[in-house]
Structure 1
């Protein structure tokens, strides 16, 4: 299986949309980049399903275009008019032959989930590696209506509790993909732990806030 960031050439603000390229391809989030469905079609002929980490605009603006092009199933924690099925905390989903636990991780969004596998995690916006605020472990913003720093702190702790020690890759909604260096002790767990420590300071994420 290959994983492609199909929004990497976007010129507008967008989340990272990840295409899991296998016999039954899966897209994690859709982003805001016009024409993202054409980029997906450069890699695969069909799309089996789209999984949403949450439904903020930067993650779903091009969702209809993707679903219209591929007639894919849609799975999300929150209600959506085109949702095929829901996602429940603790359930296990098979994506491209690999098992991922759905972990409910609110705080940045009420409907936020992360997909936690044996070797990688799709974390949406609850935790990212770099985002302009911190370069080696950051967290989703919590200063807008409906968001909660306290809930996000709990979610980061939940991820640490439920994430296998074997996770080596962090696919976040923004910033770079993080892959642990085998010659370094800076594993994905340490990245998330740093994000948790920073969130627990209760200071604004960005100095201008």
Structure 2
């Protein structure tokens, strides 16, 4: 599967947005970087769909621009004026050339979902490989209104239950992508979250 991080050169706070080319050319999250449309166009002149992990601003600020430019479908768990397809836990969606299961993973955001196939995890912010808080196994912040560490822990457990052992590629909403034993990274994040290690001083 061909995955390109299209917000890698951003100079503003944004999520990682990933372009996946193939049978269903897909943008996973739209990000907040002005000019993301131009970066996508550097790689393809056609986009079938945008699939959202959740609707925090750093993931959707450029959604309208992308949808206007490519006139493509938009898949999301929660209501959005531009949503064309509603996602639910247990649904399946084709991203690139692979079929991914939608796993509902709230805690960081009430509408958060992750996408998992036999080889790949798009984890959004529920679990990341590394970030400013932890290396090798971090998790989404839960210190703001509407967030819950307890629910996040349950979401990570659900993700582990439904993620095949064959998954060896993880593309998260922040930090670096990871290739290797993804299950170990996710289990490390779960252990930290369960020990109530604060991600930020106010967490």
Deviation for aligned residue 1:98: 0.9
Q: Deviations over 1:176-197 (max 9, x none)?
A: 00001xxxxxx11111111001
5+ unaligned residues in a row in structure 2: which ranges?
none
Q: Secondary structure at the match of 2:171?
A: strand
> Equivalent residues in 2 for 1:28-177 (5 A)?
28-177=28-177
Q: Deviations over 1:141-188 (max 9, x none)?
A: 0000000000000000001100001000110000000001xxxxxx11
What residue in structure 1 maps to residue 197 of structure 2? 203
Q: Secondary structure at the match of 2:55?
A: coil
**Counterpart-to-counterpart distance in 1, 2:149 and 2:24:** 37
5+ unaligned residues in a row in structure 1: which ranges?
181-186
Moved over 4 A (4+): none
Give the alignment's TM-score, normalised by structure 1: 0.95
Give the alignment's TM-score, normalised by structure 2: 0.97
Q: Between Structure 1 and Structure 2, how many residues are aligned?
A: 203
Q: Secondary structure at the match of 1:202?
A: coil
Q: Does 1:190 align with 2:188?
A: no
